[in-house]
Amino acid sequence: MASNNEWQGNIQFIKIDPIPNGDPGSLTDKLFIKSIEFTEEIPANTAPIASNVTIIGTAQVGQVLTGNYTYSDADGDLEGASRFRWLRNRVPIAGATTKTYKLVTADQGTLIIFEVTPVAQTGVITGVAVQSSAVGPITSSNTAPTASNVTITGTVQVGQVLIGNYTYSDADGDLEGASRFRWLRNWFAIPGATAKTYKLVLADRGARITFEVTPVALTGVLTGKAVRSPAVGPVIRAYMTPISSFEQEKPDSVILGLNYPNPFNPETYINFALPEKAMVVIEVYNLLGQKVRTLLVAEKEAGSHHIRWDGKDESGIEVSSGIYIYTIQAISEKTKTIQKKRMTLIR
pLDDT, mean of residues 318-328: 95
DSSP character at residue 243: -
Q: How far apart are CA 237 and CA 75, in angstroms?
A: 83
pLDDT in tens, 263-320: 888 888 898 989 999 999 999 999 999 999 999 999 999 888 889 999 999 999 999 9
Q: For residue 107, which phi and psi values (nearest 5 degrees)?
A: -85, -10
Sort residue 62 into left (φ over 0), alpha (ψ -120 to 50) or beta. Answer: left
Q: How far apart are CA 277 and CA 250, in angstroms?
A: 10
pLDDT in tens, 164-183: 999 999 988 889 999 999 99
Beta-strand ranges (E) seen in 240-320 are 255-256, 268-274, 278-286, 291-300, 303-309
Q: How far apart are CA 182 and CA 189, in angstroms?
A: 7
Q: What contacts 274, CB < 8 A, 6 or more positions away? A: 250, 251, 254, 280, 300, 301, 302, 303, 305, 330, 332
Query: Band of the pLDDT at 28, cuts 50, 70, 90?
Result: very low
Please give the model's pTM, rounded to 2 decimal places.
0.39
Mean pLDDT of the chain: 86
In the predicted structure, residue 36 carries a pLDDT above the cut 80: no
Q: How far apart are CA 154 and CA 160, in angstroms?
A: 7
> Would the CATH topology of 146-228 be identical to that of 244-345?
yes
Q: What contacts 166, CB < 8 A, 6 or more positions away? A: 147, 148, 149, 150, 151, 213, 215, 227
Q: What pLDDT score was predicted for residue 245?
A: 42
Among 155, 148, 254, 258, CA closest to 199? 155
With a pLDDT cut of 90, the percent of the chain lying above it is 63
> What's the CATH number of domain 244-345, 3.40.50.300, 2.60.40.4070, 3.20.190.10, 3.40.50.1820?
2.60.40.4070
pLDDT, mean of residues 11-35: 51
Beta-strand ranges (E) seen in 216-289 are 227-228, 255-256, 268-274, 278-286
**Exposed / middle / buried, residue 148 (Cβ in 10 Å: 0-12, 13-18, 19+):** exposed
In the predicted structure, residue 102 carries a pLDDT above the cut 90: yes
| Domain edges within the chain | 7-40, 49-131, 146-228, 244-345
146-228 belongs to CATH 2.60.40: yes
CB of 196 closer than 8 Å to CB of 164:
yes
In the predicted structure, residue 4 carries a pLDDT above the cut 70: no
User: Please, what CATH class does the domain formed by 49-131 belong to?
Assistant: mainly beta
